[in-house]
Structure 1
Amino acid sequence: MDKKRPATGEYSELRRKAEERLTERQKGTPLLSASDVELRHLIHDLSVHEIELEMQKDELLQTTASLEKSQMDLQQALDRYTHLYDFAPVGYLTLARDSKILEANLTVAKLLGVERGLLKGSRFSTYVTEDSLPVFDTLMERVFESYSPGSCQVRLRESGQQGKLSSHGAMRASLKTFNIDAVISDDLNTCHVALSDISRQKEVELDNALLQEELAQAQKMDAIGRLAGGIAHDYNNILAAILGNAELALRKTSTDYPMRENLEAIIKATKRSAELTAQLLGFARKQDVIPKILLLDSAVESALAMLRRLIGENIVVDWQPSDEMDYVMMDPVQIDQILINLCVNARDAIIGNGRITIRTKGIQITLSDCKHGHCCKTPGKYVMLSVEDNGTGIDKGTLPYIYEPFFTTKAHGLGTGLGLSTVYGIVKQNFGFLECTSEPGKGARFVIYLPRYRKLISDDVSLPPEEPVINGKGSILLVEDDAEILGIVKSMLESAGYSVHAVLTPSEAIRKASEQIYGIRLLLTDVVMPEMNGTELAQKLKALIPGLKIMFMSGYTADVIADCKVLDKDISFIQKPFSVSNLTRAVEEILKI
């Protein structure tokens, strides 16, 4: 029987093991007689074969258990893969050459707002907005023609959105930006695509770009402001000399003097130049201001008569007050500056008859408003002042530049380009915000948000009319490091009857005060000087002369002299350039105290 079986390979090994196991079993079993040899061989073969079968059965059972475990492990791995595939943060698709979707994970379905069952068989290109289609088509062509991997950024529409969708359309808020990475598959007839939502990233990039633009604009405005403030001192000193000399000369002429009109023209031009300097410093946010608690409605109403005369009868000024007790803290002159500049611009934009509407309103700006693009960057209570016209309007290309100094769209000689720059500077100086909305042919609307003053107070009591200036009496110590200004201010004061001790340096002033300790009533001093500033000089002289009155003067901008404490409340200060009447009136007032 065993001659019919091969004696090599796995059988031989199995046979050997079966023989060994049979030998173990037969230990202690009686042997058959010699005459039963063939029977003995037969029994032996059958026993070996039985054992072989048992061993094969055991091995088969082990193999089956191993296969079952492998199948279980494979299913678990498949489940894990399916879960990772379906719920990956990135959308995965398999696309045919015509962009038909062959496979897609659940993330893609969620991103597109479509059930996965409906995705299969549809064309992915139908979800791509028209402005992004050329980019997507180029990517598909590259992947399938050159077999090269590629990527692009496209904007996708969600299911149910029909019609033409452009980057500036009404559905922009529902569109998202995605990054697509595509690679050809092994069969070269399909491609695998990874879809990543980068909408938030794009929003952050846009916000950063806007912040960078705002920063650059602020830096540019600040640089020009510094330039304006830097020239103000010398320019004001020059104007002070011109104005003072012209006024003194005019006082000495009779009404029929041939050059009187020329002198008056010089004075008028000098004052206009001083106003231009004030506008420059207003833009630069560096001029000295005297803020007061104002009821905004009252401040606007007080300016209406002036505005109507300025604008003309062909344009209606429509005043719509809030009728609320909305107070602001700012210089009333600045309110006039804002209204004049905005209304003059509105007048120039109106052809023929028209309307300018001025409104006020209390408003609460929330943190959510700030986050969603409101021009107010700080939440809180504001008082809104708006000026709206029905003129020619401003195109979108011009809007970003309207607050830049010297920028104007008016014909040559019809505008300085400082009006809106001045408004911008005043608003920022008072911690407010400003926005403009306009379209060509639909007019323009400027809206100013000023912080609402929390404390309510009664209306200011009107001051009594000023007394006419009389000839002065008393001795004044005048300190000015510019010899020309020193001479003209000395002449101004002497023309009013004062005795003036004029010196160029603080050290000379201290020496003069030591000599004239009982005669000097007032120190009129420049603020920024060599050796020491005006405040320090005033402190030294007060120690020498008890009861000495102090008045400061300067052509520097407010930010330069702020550290000298001469702009504080109850401090007498006069800004250069000043007229003879303004100077003598200020001196008379302080000496009366």
Structure 2
Amino acid sequence: MTVARRSHSGLRDALEQQRVINEILTVSMDRIPFDEQLGRILDRLLSLPWLPLVRKGAIFLADDEDPQTLVLRTSVGLTPDMERACRTVPVGKCLCGEAAATGRIVFVDRVDESHVIRYEGIQPHGHYCVPVRCGERTLGVLTLYVREGHSEQQSERDFLAAAAHTLAGIIERHRAEQALRESEARYRLLFENESEAVIIVDARTLKIEDANNAAQKLFGYTKDELIGLTSLKLAGPAKRSRAALERLFRRRPGSTATLTFQRKDGTVFPGEMKAGTFTIDARTRIIGSVRDDTERTRLEKERERLYAQLLHSQKMEAVGRLAGGIAHDFNNIQTAIKTLSHLGMKRSEPGAQCHELFGQILKASQRATELTRQLLLFSRSEPASHVPLCLNKVITALTGMLAPLIGESYAIKVENDSALKPVSADRGNMEQVITNLVVNARDAMPEGGTITIRTENVVLGRSDCNEMAGSRPGSFVKLTVEDRGAGISDDELERIFEPFYTTKKSGTGSGLGLTVVYGIVRDHGGWINVRSAPGEGSAFEVYLPAASVQPPDELDAPLPLSGGGAGKRILVVEDDDMVRETAAMVLEDEGYEVACAATAAEALALFKERNGAFQVVISDYVLPDRDGMRLIDELRGLNPAVKVILNSGYMDNHMDKSKIRRKGIRFIRKPYDVPRLLALLAELTGEGGA
């Protein structure tokens, strides 16, 4: 029941957190005043049911003129006395100032001496003060009130850090847009006073006759150099740009064009030119004003990136819902396949061809089950299951799948330590880590090459840890994926694990691969060290704690359990025809007397007809006419002693795991292994029953 409860909580929290991030990004796209955006974001964070917050909080931003001062920009639930006391907070003072100064989340569970700023009527409370940072710069602080005595949780810190990271991007974009609006306002004023970059051109020869100081600065020429220069040279050597500028001048009054300009030093920039005409002494001249659009172009790309991030977040949420939706039906199919394969192996002689074929079918079904589980893990719809695991076996099983994935131009070289220690890990997670790192190595070598996967045992001392961030002394298993690609610069190394950050061309990378790897490794108590330099390739080194428990031996065939069900009655309640029929077959093969029902109503009628004379009821949790728990309550009302096994192919939000545990009901996941089901039945019926 603990696994089921964690699955319910993890899925709920992951979906809720994703929705909150989506809503914050959506609010940032609204055409409303910035302080109103901040207010809506704060209000949404304070409304989260799974955070133990008092409905009080505030957002401070660093003062534009004095970055060492935090200014209260929006608040919820603060009294006038509180707002007066906290209108401005020096960096380093009180809890919010400490978070801004250190760049770390500050948590206290009560008002103590660290709460320097006091005010009349202060009530008992705790605080989360979360710095909002961009790189090394502190943009502000998000402060949320919690109940006094609350114990902080790592999951809370992780979510608040992610929310602050998103808020930092929104603040940066707002400031850039505000700067751009101010720049455009100045441009209009300067243009009216002819202080913008302006050139005067002869309409017949298209040679420059005059230019103001702004034009000289923009294009890097002196005034003497500009006068007499053909204006088309400002468009650079590209014929397309020159033709566009010439067309603009020929159209004349009120014409505007966006094109690429070239400075004297050869550098190019995007710009917009507006052209008009005037006549003096019967000679027509063109006046052209040029605006540098470098910043505008950058902001448009940033807005597109944020919008793409929003779409990707929504897509990942949809993947999670889709994965959960198909899991139930797909696992029903796999249950039938595994059950029939078990029967086939039991009824055939070991060594016979058909026996081996059934064994292969069973293994293939198990692989399909693992693939389904990996999809659910990736979409955060399935809890990870940490068990003793040998990475060498995972790599061996995975290399065959990786070869066609990376292409014929690449070779995989495996260097495994034969005495490798086990780790406590989720197999699907480890496969995802290896796959993501191998694909990343492939992308670093577009011309092809060799990717090396290496495992080894390492023991780290304190001196070894001085050179690796996040490391600690102890015994570890080290997994290395190495390429001979272009390498990674120091600036890129600092950002490679950030969500949505990618150095790949647009459309070829989501920016999530290494972020997922980082999250999985951290969840397993490990860390990643990256060795790289431009032109020298890269090595991603994953360190995982070594485990003392050895992995269990894998069984090639189901354990034989014959004849244990003689004289015992089982009621199977399952709406899927294949699962119901195959379950009945395998139970009857073990000697049980089996009755089947496709709905809760049928099951209830059968139970009444036979006076509740069943030792065990095996029921699906999801039935077409009511849920399995309600049916079990009704059946136990007729026979309180009946034992129950519930099963389901997907752990959704509606499943009350604590109630299942309290009622003494056993639970197994689909697709279940037949030996496990039979062993559970033997245990329950061996205890006696109705």
Task: Tell me by how many angstroms 1:341 deviates.
Answer: 7.1
SS of the equivalent of 1:562 reads coil
Q: Say yes or no: does 1:104 pair with 2:211.
A: yes
Please identify, of 99-108 and 213-222, the stretch whose mean Cα deviation from structure 2 is larger: 213-222
Query: Retained in 2: the 8 A contact 1:427–1:448?
Result: no
Q: Say yes or no: does 1:485 pair with 2:607.
A: no
Matches of 1:581 and 1:480, distance apart in 2:
19
Query: Retained in 2: the 8 A contact 1:241–1:485?
Result: yes
Specify the alignment match of 1:303 in structure 2.
391
Task: Tell me by how many angstroms 1:303 deviates.
Answer: 1.1
Matches of 1:149 and 1:194, distance apart in 2:
11
The runs of 5 or more residues in structure 1 that have no matched partner are 1-82, 166-174, 321-326, 380-385, 387-393, 404-419, 433-441
Report the CA distance shift for 1:99/1:317 in structure 2 as closer, same or farther (over 3 A): farther
Deviation readout 1:270-304 (Å, 9 max, x if unpaired): 44544554566566x27633355x9xxx97xx413
Query: 1:315-334 to 2 correspondence within 5 Å?
Result: 315-317=412-414, 331-334=426-429
Query: 1:514-529 to 2 correspondence within 5 Å?
Result: 523-529=617-623
Q: Say yes or no: does 1:177 pair with 2:177.
A: no
Please give the root-mean-square deviation of Cα atoms over the aligned residues, in Å. Answer: 5.9
Task: Tell me by how many angstroms 1:525 deviates.
Answer: 2.1
Query: 1:214-253 to 2 correspondence within 5 Å?
Result: 230-253=325-348
Q: TM-score by structure 1 length?
A: 0.53
Specify the alignment match of 2:452 in structure 1.
356
Query: 1:161-310 to 2 correspondence within 5 Å?
Result: 161-162=265-266, 165=267, 176-187=269-280, 188-213=283-308, 230-255=325-350, 259-275=354-370, 277-278=372-373, 285=379, 288-290=382-384, 302-307=390-395
SS of the equivalent of 1:335 reads helix
Which of 339, 351, 364 is equivalent to 2:434?
339
Deviation readout 1:444-498 (Å, 9 max, x if unpaired): 989899xx9xxx9996867999997867677654321123321321333454566
Aligned length: 429
Report the CA distance shift for 1:289/1:506 in structure 2 as closer, same or farther (over 3 A): same
Query: Retained in 2: the 8 A contact 1:554–1:575?
Result: yes
Q: Write the letter of the residue equivalent to 2:291.
A: S
Task: Tell me by how many angstroms 1:545 deviates.
Answer: 6.2
Task: Tell me by how many angstroms 1:530 deviates.
Answer: 1.4
Q: Write the letter of the residue equivalent to 1:537.
A: L
Specify the alignment match of 1:413 in structure 2.
none
Report the CA distance shift for 1:356/1:424 in structure 2 as closer, same or farther (over 3 A): same
Query: 1:102-141 to 2 correspondence within 5 Å?
Result: 102-112=209-219, 125-131=232-238, 134-141=240-247
Matches of 1:115 and 1:590, distance apart in 2:
95
Query: Retained in 2: the 8 A contact 1:520–1:548?
Result: yes
Report the CA distance shift for 1:224/1:463 in structure 2 as closer, same or farther (over 3 A): closer
Task: Tell me by how many angstroms 1:192 deviates.
Answer: 0.5
Task: Tell me by how many angstroms 1:124 deviates.
Answer: 5.1
Matches of 1:362 and 1:569, distance apart in 2:
44
Q: Write the letter of the residue equivalent to 1:150.
A: S
Q: Write the letter of the residue equivalent to 1:154.
A: L
Say which structure is richer in strand. Answer: 2
Task: Tell me by how many angstroms 1:505 deviates.
Answer: 2.0
Query: Retained in 2: the 8 A contact 1:139–1:150?
Result: no
Specify the alignment match of 2:259 in structure 1.
154
Query: Retained in 1: the 8 A contact 2:200–2:209?
Result: yes
SS of the equivalent of 1:484 reads helix
SS of the equivalent of 1:529 reads coil
Query: Retained in 1: the 8 A contact 2:618–2:644?
Result: yes
Matches of 2:292 and 2:658, distance apart in 1:
56
Deviation readout 1:122-181 (Å, 9 max, x if unpaired): 6655554445x63344333552x565542211334555x34xx5xxxxxxxxx5421100
Matches of 1:521 and 1:444, distance apart in 2:
65
Q: Say yes or no: does 1:94 pair with 2:189.
A: no
Which of 653, 656, 667 is equivalent to 1:562?
653
Report the CA distance shift for 1:256/1:306 in structure 2 as closer, same or farther (over 3 A): closer
Q: Write the letter of the residue equivalent to 2:240.
A: P
Matches of 2:636 and 2:578, distance apart in 1:
27
Report the CA distance shift for 1:273/1:191 in structure 2 as closer, same or farther (over 3 A): same
Matches of 1:274 and 1:308, distance apart in 2:
19
Report the CA distance shift for 1:344/1:568 in structure 2 as closer, same or farther (over 3 A): farther
Query: Retained in 2: the 8 A contact 1:151–1:181?
Result: yes
Query: Retained in 1: the 8 A contact 2:277–2:286?
Result: yes
Matches of 2:237 and 2:433, distance apart in 1:
46
Task: Tell me by how many angstroms 1:105 deviates.
Answer: 3.6
Matches of 1:230 and 1:464, distance apart in 2:
32
Deviation readout 1:38-74 (Å, 9 max, x if unpaired): xxxxxxxxxxxxxxxxxxxxxxxxxxxxxxxxxxxxx
Report the CA distance shift for 1:264/1:572 in structure 2 as closer, same or farther (over 3 A): same
Matches of 1:425 and 1:520, distance apart in 2:
52
Matches of 2:381 and 2:658, distance apart in 1:
11
Report the CA distance shift for 1:548/1:184 in structure 2 as closer, same or farther (over 3 A): farther
Query: 1:419-438 to 2 correspondence within 5 Å?
Result: none
Say which structure is richer in helix. Answer: 1
Please identify, of 571-580 and 340-349, the stretch whose mean Cα deviation from structure 2 is larger: 340-349
Matches of 1:157 and 1:567, distance apart in 2:
70
Query: 1:362-511 to 2 correspondence within 5 Å?
Result: 376-377=498-499, 400=507, 476-496=570-590, 500=594, 502-510=596-604
Report the CA distance shift for 1:182/1:524 in structure 2 as closer, same or farther (over 3 A): same
Matches of 1:304 and 1:568, distance apart in 2:
40
SS of the equivalent of 2:279 reads coil
SS of the equivalent of 1:184 reads strand
Query: Retained in 1: the 8 A contact 2:260–2:271?
Result: yes
Task: Tell me by how many angstroms 1:308 deviates.
Answer: 5.1
Q: Write the letter of the residue equivalent to 1:376.
A: E
Matches of 1:363 and 1:569, distance apart in 2:
40
SS of the equivalent of 1:578 reads coil
Query: Retained in 2: the 8 A contact 1:180–1:193?
Result: yes
Matches of 2:338 and 2:449, distance apart in 1:
40
Report the CA distance shift for 1:115/1:147 in structure 2 as closer, same or farther (over 3 A): closer
Which of 659, 671, 674 is equivalent to 1:580?
674
Q: TM-score by structure 2 length?
A: 0.47
Report the CA distance shift for 1:425/1:568 in structure 2 as closer, same or farther (over 3 A): farther
Matches of 1:590 and 1:96, distance apart in 2:
100
Query: Retained in 2: the 8 A contact 1:552–1:573?
Result: yes
Query: Retained in 2: the 8 A contact 1:522–1:550?
Result: yes
Query: Retained in 2: the 8 A contact 1:147–1:184?
Result: yes
Report the CA distance shift for 1:572/1:286 in structure 2 as closer, same or farther (over 3 A): farther
